[in-house]
């Protein structure tokens, strides 16, 4: 009796998938939670109204993992330009932006930044784990490619996802930032994948820069914390459905 058989590995069109981190696999915690938790770490309790106003001002000033600031003060311009290439510049840029917002909570700027370094300062999307697991179980290599100024491997370990990711190409370690084709090529090299059989999944035009490295690209809209953002589309493109 005829039966379906899995095609040989060599016949698979996609042998590896690269994922962006922020806005693709995880989102920063909501601004109100961010500010209240950081203030509490400084020994201050903020009422909801005050915390909401402060959160709005801080997000406008510029938050790591948030929208780009409307204005970068001249004294922070160099650190801002290098924020995804050096750890010290990443911290200096974002603590400097937070410090530009008046507050009576001592140490708040550093506490706000420290939330970004903690796994509980982020929320993985609901479809992140099942998507990574299905790709992993299908034998498809996975790498995370991120413009970032700190190590996110502990976040994945905390979420129990580290065993599903084969490599991390982080801009501050690689010395290149998306959309530079070099960072995508480095990621492919780290997992032994042919760029022409690799899919890049992200949420911005910078992620689409993978096309110049020979990869296919899927750009999805970033979703709010706790909402699905369409990661399952990558499974169909990788032949896992």
Above 90 in pLDDT, residue 138? Answer: yes
Q: Is the pLDDT of residue 1 over 50?
A: no
Question: Mean of the per-residue pLDDT values for the chain?
Answer: 92
Where residue 186 falls among pLDDT bands split at 50, 70, 90?
very high
pLDDT tens, position by position, 200-217: 999 999 999 999 999 999
Among 89, 149, 143, smallest CA distance to 117 is for 149
Strand duo 198-202 + 16-19: pairing: parallel
Tokens standing for residue 12: 């698979």
* pLDDT score of 222: 82
Long-range pairs for 170-177 at CB < 8 Å and ≥24 separation? 170/144, 170/146, 171/84, 171/85, 171/146, 171/147, 172/84, 172/85, 172/86, 172/87, 172/90, 172/148, 175/85, 177/84, 177/85, 177/147, 177/206
* Per-residue pLDDT at 106 exceeds 60: yes
What pTM does this model have?
Answer: 0.91
Of 10-14, 55-59, 111-115, 127-131, the least confident: 10-14
């Amino acid at each position: 009796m005829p039966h379906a058989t899995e095609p040989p590995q060599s016949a698979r069109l996609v042998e590896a998938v690269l994922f962006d981190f922020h806005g693709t696999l995880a989102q920063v915690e909501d601004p109100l939670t961010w500010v209240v938790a950081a203030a509490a770490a400084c020994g201050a309790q903020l009422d909801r109204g005050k915390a909401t106003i402060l959160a709005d001002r801080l997000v406008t000033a510029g938050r790591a993992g948030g929208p780009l600031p409307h204005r970068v003060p001249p004294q922070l311009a160099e650190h801002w330009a290098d924020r995804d290439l050096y750890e010290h510049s990443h911290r200096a840029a974002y603590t400097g932006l937070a410090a530009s917002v008046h507050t009576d909570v001592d140490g708040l700027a550093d506490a706000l930044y420290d939330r970004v370094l903690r796994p509980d300062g982020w929320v993985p999307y609901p479809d992140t784990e099942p998507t990574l697991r299905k790709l992993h179980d299908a034998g498809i290599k996975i790498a995370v490619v991120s413009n970032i100024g700190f190590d996110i491997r502990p976040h994945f370990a905390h979420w129990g996802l580290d065993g599903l990711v084969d490599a991390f190409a982080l801009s501050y370690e690689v010395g290149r930032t998306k959309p530079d084709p070099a960072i995508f090529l480095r990621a492919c090299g780290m997992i032994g994948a042919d760029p022409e059989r690799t899919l890049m999944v992200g949420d911005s035009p910078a992620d689409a820069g993978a096309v110049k490295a020979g990869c296919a690209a899927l750009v999805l809209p970033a979703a709010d914390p706790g909402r699905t953002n369409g990661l399952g589309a990558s499974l169909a493109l990788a032949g896992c459905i």
